[in-house]
Amino acid sequence: GAASKGDYRHYMLKEIFEQPTVIEAALEGRLSAKSVLVESFGPDALALFKRTRQVHIIACGTSYHAGLVARYWLERYAGVPVQVEVASEYRYRHPVVPEGTLFVTLSQSGETADTLAALRFAKTLDYIGSLAICNVPGSSLVRESDITLMTRAGPEIGVASTKAFTTQLVALMLLTLSVSKAKDQAEYPDIIAALHTLPEVCQRVLALDSQIEILSQAFAEKHHALFLGRGAHYPIALEGALKLKEISYIHAEAYPAGELKHGPLALVDSEMPVISVAPNDDLLEKLKSNLQEVRARGGQLFVFADESVGIDAQEDIRVLTLPHVHEALAPLLYTLPLQLLSYHVAVLKGTDVDQPRNLAKSVTVE
Ligand code: AGP
């Protein structure tokens, strides 16, 4: 059943490998061959999205990272300005809500105390409406929001969120496409075609598992790691660092690669593993020069790269090549090897992968 480990050693590994299936479920009935079905968000969504002039996204932890990716997407593909904030900060500020602002919460559980409190607080402000993107039907967040979209990831038992995150990203791409369509803007048939092939491409990335397991050996004795990304892959670097911290207890930090020179480069020496995601996008050349800065300080580079980017493995650079995917969907795809990397490091370290110390699956108290 959905809540048993089957042949997997841990729930987390099972949930990582379920991603092609649950991503397909998250897309089911929500896209035609060339167009997104805006009514997937409910009968009131079209009118609400037409009126949407900006978006405020509120969440915690991994769900917050999904929100950060959505900012890049909504701004680039729907032309809508976005603010993203962690719920525990938002709820204690005095947010200014411009006219036509949609309030969006993201949550696996739908019961995270700060996110729920943020929604209740937002209802006292001048938003045009609230949307919850959530994995648990009937949760408090779902019951209390104006419109909802379920992520359909199925029960997630591992404390470290994996399939809940990638299905949130699918939902957020559907939101991006829906807002654009509702406003009579572009419909992006190229992204829609890429979404249809995404489960299969994810499957090909998961097939790299044994190579990632080999890479993980380089981390087991480390105390620190640095994750780099640019653009929509900066939040993916944040998510990679959070996974490593949570389950392997290795101190990990993520930076937008362009910030290296502004401080973190001082941390880089031959003991520091630096993990970077290098999809083939318009920031590739900039990223490559950031990686040279790391090499020049003797840092050990681990690069997850698009098959077409031409970064070759060398003594001080280990490269894992990923299949090509539409650049809009690359953040989703590049999440998978980072999940597997943390998983294998944690197993090597012998930690309690599914139930890391000090953490609860859902944080229902402040
Ligand atoms: C992720 O690996 C975490 N354990 C945690 O950050 C989680 O994403 C956060 O607590 C939010 O939970 P939610 O999505 O259920 O609201």
Q: Taking the domains of the chain in order of start, what are their residue ranges?
A: 11-204, 208-349
* Whether the predicted pLDDT of 1 surpasses 70: no
Mutate to test the pocket of ligand 1, among 10, 68, 91, 112 (most ligand atoms within 8 A of CB): 112
Q: Quick one: which atom of ligand 1 is closest to the CA of 363? A: 10
- Is the ipTM value over 0.85, yes or no? yes
Is there an atom of ligand 1 within 6 Å of 246 CB? yes
Q: Which CATH superfamily is domain 11-204 in?
A: Glucose-6-phosphate isomerase like protein; domain 1 (3.40.50.10490)
pLDDT at 71 over 90: yes
Return the closest-CA partner of residue 331 out of 166, 148, 100. Answer: 166
CA–CA separation, 172 vs 149, rounded Å? 10
Rounded CA-CA distance 121/124 in Å is 6
Task: Return the ligand 1 atom nearest residue 141 CA.
Answer: 16
pLDDT digits (tens, 9 = 90+) for 114-167: 999 999 999 999 999 999 999 999 999 999 999 999 999 999 999 999 999 999
Domains 11-204 and 208-349 equal at CATH topology level = yes
Q: What mean pLDDT comes out for the span 35-62?
A: 98
Judge contact between 332 and 170, C-beta under 8 A: yes
How far away, in angstroms, is 159 Cα from ligand 1 center?
A: 8
Give CA separation, 104 vs 12, 201, 244, 292, 300, in Å: 27, 29, 27, 39, 39
* β-pair partners for 158: none
Residue 361 CA: nearest ligand 1 atom is 4
Side by side, the strands of the sheet bearing 317-322 are: 251-256, 224-229, 273-278, 300-306, 317-322
Question: Which residue lies with its CA nearest to atom 9 of ligand 1?
Answer: 61
Residue among 211, 241, 217 at smallest CA distance from 319: 211
Q: Minimum mean pLDDT among 3-7, 16-20, 129-133, 138-142: which range?
A: 3-7
pLDDT at residue number 2? 54
Confidence of residue 316 (pLDDT cuts 50, 70, 90): confident
Question: What's the average model confidence in pLDDT over 21-47?
Answer: 97
Residue recorded with tokens 């038992």: 157
- For the domain made up of 208-349, the CATH class stated in words is alpha beta
Mean pLDDT of the chain: 94
Span 72-124, pLDDT tens digits: 999 999 999 999 999 999 999 999 999 999 999 999 999 999 999 999 999 99
Residue 317 has a pLDDT of 86
Pocket test for ligand 1, best of 58, 60, 352 (most atoms within 8 A of CB): 60
Query: Which of 1-10, 59-68, 350-359 is predicted with the least confidence, judged by mean pLDDT?
Result: 1-10
Q: Decide the pairing of beta strands 273-278 and 224-229.
A: parallel
DSSP for residue 93: S
Mean pLDDT confidence for 319-334: 95
Instruction: Judge if the beta carbon of residue 342 lies within 6 A of ligand 1.
Output: no
- pLDDT for res 292: 84
Residue-wise pLDDT for 168-188, tens only, equals 999 999 999 999 999 999 999
Give the pLDDT confidence of 218-262 residue by residue, as tens digits: 999 999 999 999 999 999 999 999 999 999 999 999 999 889 889
Task: Check if the beta carbon of residue 82 is closer than 8 Å to that of residue 54.
Answer: yes
**Which amino acid, 62?**
T
Residue 109 in contact with ligand 1 by CB distance below 6 A: yes
From 9-18, 93-102, 314-323, the region with the lowest mean pLDDT? 314-323
Q: Which of 287-296, 328-337, 349-358 is least confident?
A: 287-296
CA 57 to CA 215: how far, in whole Å? 35
Question: Which of 224, 256, 265 has the alpha carbon at shortest distance from 238?
Answer: 256
| 303 pLDDT higher than 80 | yes
> What percentage of residues in the chain have a pLDDT greater than 90?
85
Q: How far apart are CA 277 and CA 295, in angstroms?
A: 15
Mean pLDDT of 296-325: 86
DSSP for 23-79, please give it.
HHHHHTTTB-SS-B-GGGG-TTHHHHHHH-SEEEEEE-HHHHHHHHHHHHHHHHHH-
- Give rounded-to-5 percent helix, strand, coil for the chain: 50, 15, 35
Residue 112, ligand 1, Cβ within 6 A: yes
